[in-house]
Amino acid sequence: MEFINFLSSTSGRLLRVVAGTAMVVIGVLLGGGWYVLAVAGLLPLFAGLSNVCLFAPLFGQPFKGDSARPSSLR
């Protein structure tokens, strides 16, 4: 559950955006079959930018990051 809380936090969002961007850049730079990595990198990139956690509903948590964080951290 701590993992989902981390992913819903601001730090988790930043990590997803950075990881997604890195995947897209590496996939585009390497080309060829690596374009799959670039396409896969779009998922964490857009999830982080739109403040949603795709894994949260699997663990009974809210989909939106704002709903998952305590009100003192919003």
In a domain, 73, yes or no: no
In a domain, 72, yes or no: no
- 25 within some domain: yes
Confirm whether 53 is domain-assigned: yes
Would you give the end-to-end CA distance of the chain in angstroms? 19
Give the pLDDT band of residue 37 (cuts 50, 70, 90): very high
Q: How far apart are CA 65 and CA 34, in angstroms?
A: 30
Query: 30 or 65: whose pLDDT is higher?
Result: 30
29: in domain = yes
**Domain count of the chain?**
1
**What is the pLDDT, as a whole number, of residue 55?**
85
Q: Domain limits at 50?
A: 2-65
30 inside domain: yes
3-class DSSP assignment, residue 15: helix
| pLDDT reported for residue 68 | 64
- Dist. CA 52–CA 59, nearest whole Å: 14
More confident residue, 41 or 74: 41
* pLDDT value for 41: 96
pLDDT at 14 over 80: yes
d(CA 1, CA 41): 24
DSSP letters, 16-40, are: HHHHHHHHHHHHHHH-GGGHHHHHH
